[in-house]
Chains A and B, each alone.
Chain A
């Protein structure tokens, strides 16, 4: 039943030839979007501008483990046959270095000049469910608190989202534990599920439907939908890592002096990698950069990390003066206090912090160690 040419129905799925994704990318650029998607650079799949299909890592995959990441050829031509890489989408919505505004010295003080540079209108191509959840989590920080970050909002608001249902879990992935995937459920315009020759495309918004108009798609059959469902089911069941999240905040708050913190402190280098690759970490610092003549200054926002000694520095010293305190802050924030602050965990189970940790510290293993020991102590009757 060909439907090609008309506007596809919203809330339905259609089937599209894989190569027609190229036309979608082109149309997005024509509509004024900056299309960001996966591409290969320096031996990793990273996000960058994508203009043509052949920029996608077609036929590539990644091998990941704690502290390990390698690209490898696939024996097929899958477009999205890999898991997440070191980049997350937060670098576009919450840029690592952003000039917020500039200040000009005047006769009677100073004058604030808001940045006049137009904010890019992004289209995110190939975003996974874990990362979509991560954006929603950062929305809670920057948009839904008592103070709205206008810089984040300007980038976030118009984002066009083409999501991908994961067809491959890395051994470091644990989104099923965090209930953040592998199937995308909301917050997208189009969602693709990759089959061998085609994409099953869920159409969620009018602008998503507009994008397909004129392309040779057809309505998805029960068989297509079944095949798409199998892809996510297989991905979910191949998940190797898990985290038991039961009562996690209480578990961690009750174990703030647990010997495991000393143990992990011996391994952790406090290098900040985990916080840089984490798609939800939002800590930042604000710097004042004056011009040489002192008449103008720029207010810059930079990513920061709770692993930096300066993060907790006050005149007189640091609150978290050792690595034990810093790792404990990171882990308890991510998995416990984040829930108090925002109603959701700060972890989406993407596994980046495990892969990109130079000494392969594994967040799931650290939690399990504290939990098993706490369980043991409860069984022995000493709380």
Chain B
């Protein structure tokens, strides 16, 4: 090869799989969680592909409805816990509104898992502070379950969780078990109703009610972006260092594999560099509004 012919790198091997291609997956069960939200348990139709399927807490899949399109949904089940792959979905967009009409046994498409997971290794030996809002509990549920399954490896496990109304609280049937296994749980709602005897107020405000040692704590947060912002600012004010604060954020994603360019946040593609980021990496880019 002459110098003029030199390429940056050789081309990748030919015949690599099409990254946009979904695989058929069967809906094993659908559990209604709250009004307009349900958890779909999926299994890849191809049994050996399903056996080989591995994921990390915090990763997501692209779910596909024939003739409609795709949508990124985080995985809300726990690796190794069961055969299926859970996705907690709010019926709010073009694709998810069609999902609302599906029934167990129906087939949809799946590709993934994509993105980064929560840094569970780094949480070992630490207090773990989980702050979630609304549907933001879904990608943290596998974190809670994984930590509780290895409870002795961590110090305090705290979950601060809130939603708009009491009826929007996710996974309520699981709270008692979590607490029993050693999770400290604080729940709040933005607006109470007659059924509610608990706390009222936004999630970040709960932080003022807990004490933690900033040198031995790691925080995971997910929820509406405004909630994440206030949570992070409160944690920083409480002297938790930015590299101990992890957040999972949401952006428009169409490919899931860092090609379509839509999920960019500064230097990052949220789909492949995230969705879980340490705040020290992302703070600079999440602070300016609308960036």
A: residues with CB less than 8 A from B are 10-11, 100-101, 103, 105, 108-110, 112, 114, 136, 139-151, 153, 156-157, 185-189, 191, 202, 204-205, 253, 256-257, 282-288, 290, 294, 297, 299, 301, 304, 306, 310-316, 319-322, 324-325, 328-329, 332-333, 336-337, 340-341
Q: Contact: B11 with A156, CB < 8 Å? A: yes
Q: Contact: A101 with B252, CB < 8 Å? A: no
Q: Contact: A146 with B272, CB < 8 Å? A: yes
Which of the residues B250, B257, B291 comes within 8 Å of A147, measured between beta carbons? B257
Q: Which residues of A contact B237 (CB under 8 A)?
A: none
- Whether A322 touches B290, Cβ cut-off 8 Å, given contacts A188-B4, A191-B4, is yes
- Whether A285 touches B262, Cβ cut-off 8 Å, given contacts A148-B16, A253-B284, is yes
The answer to whether the Cβ of B267 comes within 8 Å of any Cβ in the partner chain is yes
Q: Which residues of A contact B92 (CB under 8 A)?
A: 315-316
8 nearest CB pairs, A to B? A340-B267, A109-B107, A290-B67, A283-B261, A204-B4, A147-B257, A325-B290, A109-B24
Q: Contact: B260 with A284, CB < 8 Å? A: yes
Chain A residue with Cβ nearest B11: A157
Q: What are 23 pairs between A and B in contact, CB < 8 Å? A: A11-B4, A101-B21, A108-B107, A109-B26, A112-B22, A145-B259, A146-B258, A147-B258, A148-B16, A150-B16, A157-B14, A187-B5, A187-B6, A284-B254, A284-B260, A286-B254, A288-B68, A304-B261, A310-B252, A316-B92, A322-B290, A328-B291, A336-B267
The answer to whether the Cβ of B269 comes within 8 Å of any Cβ in the partner chain is yes
Chain A min CB distance to B56 (Å): 15
The answer to whether the Cβ of B255 comes within 8 Å of any Cβ in the partner chain is yes
Kindly state the separation between the CA atoms of A331 and B67 in the bound complex, as whole angstroms. Answer: 35
Can you add 18 more A-B contacts, CB < 8 Å, to A150-B16, A311-B252? A109-B26, A109-B45, A110-B24, A145-B259, A145-B272, A147-B259, A204-B5, A286-B255, A286-B260, A288-B67, A288-B68, A290-B67, A301-B20, A312-B252, A312-B262, A313-B252, A336-B267, A340-B267
Kindly state the separation between the CA atoms of A355 and B251 in the bound complex, as whole angstroms. Answer: 32
Instruction: Tell me the dominant secondary structure on chain A's binding face.
Output: mixed
Which of the residues A157, A186, A285 comes within 8 Å of B4, measured between beta carbons? A186
Chain A residue with Cβ nearest B271: A147
The answer to whether the Cβ of B177 comes within 8 Å of any Cβ in the partner chain is no
Q: Contact: A304 with B21, CB < 8 Å? A: no
Q: Contact: A294 with B261, CB < 8 Å? A: no
Most A CB contacts (10 A, CB to CB) among B6, B8, B22, B251 go to B8
The answer to whether the Cβ of B125 comes within 8 Å of any Cβ in the partner chain is no
Which of the residues A143, A185, A304 comes within 8 Å of B12, measured between beta carbons? A143
The answer to whether the Cβ of B266 comes within 8 Å of any Cβ in the partner chain is yes
Q: Contact: A186 with B22, CB < 8 Å? A: no
Q: Contact: A288 with B69, CB < 8 Å? A: yes
Q: How many residues of B contact A (CB 8 A)?
A: 54
Q: Contact: A286 with B70, CB < 8 Å? A: yes
Which of the residues A108, A142, A186 comes within 8 Å of B6, measured between beta carbons? A186
Q: Which residues of B contact A205 (CB under 8 A)?
A: 2, 4-5
Chain B min CB distance to A140 (Å): 7
Chain A min CB distance to B160 (Å): 22
Which of the residues A110, A150, A151, A304 comes within 8 Å of B262, measured between beta carbons? A304
Chain B residue with Cβ nearest A202: B4
Chain A min CB distance to B22 (Å): 7
Q: Contact: B290 with A319, CB < 8 Å? A: yes
- Whether A185 touches B258, Cβ cut-off 8 Å, given contacts A150-B18, A321-B290, is no
The answer to whether the Cβ of B35 comes within 8 Å of any Cβ in the partner chain is no
The answer to whether the Cβ of B198 comes within 8 Å of any Cβ in the partner chain is no
- Whether A153 touches B8, Cβ cut-off 8 Å, given contacts A147-B259, A306-B261, is no
In the complex, which residues 53-72 of chain B have their Cβ closer than 8 Å to any Cβ of chain A? Answer: 66-70
Kindly state the separation between the CA atoms of A364 and B278 in the bound complex, as whole angstroms. Answer: 34
Chain B min CB distance to A90 (Å): 13
Chain B min CB distance to A282 (Å): 6
Q: Which residues of A contact B284 (CB under 8 A)?
A: 253
Q: Contact: A108 with B7, CB < 8 Å? A: no
Kindly state the separation between the CA atoms of A290 and B65 in the bound complex, as whole angstroms. Answer: 11
Q: Contact: B67 with A294, CB < 8 Å? A: yes
In the complex, which residues 61-111 of chain B have their Cβ closer than 8 Å to any Cβ of chain A? Answer: 66-70, 90, 92-93, 96, 107, 109
Q: Which residues of A contact B285 (CB under 8 A)?
A: 253
Chain B residue with Cβ nearest A144: B9
Q: Contact: A284 with B261, CB < 8 Å? A: yes
Kindly state the separation between the CA atoms of A191 and B5 in the bound complex, as whole angstroms. Answer: 11
Q: Which residues of A contact B14 (CB under 8 A)?
A: 153, 157
Q: Which residues of B contact A337 (CB under 8 A)?
A: 264, 266-267
Q: Contact: B67 with A297, CB < 8 Å? A: yes
Q: Which residues of A contact B257 (CB under 8 A)?
A: 145-147
Q: Contact: A341 with B267, CB < 8 Å? A: yes
Q: Which residues of B contact A313 (CB under 8 A)?
A: 252
Chain A min CB distance to B152 (Å): 35
Chain B min CB distance to A8 (Å): 12
Q: Which residues of B contact A108 (CB under 8 A)?
A: 24, 45, 107
Q: Contact: A287 with B69, CB < 8 Å? A: yes
Q: Contact: A204 with B2, CB < 8 Å? A: yes
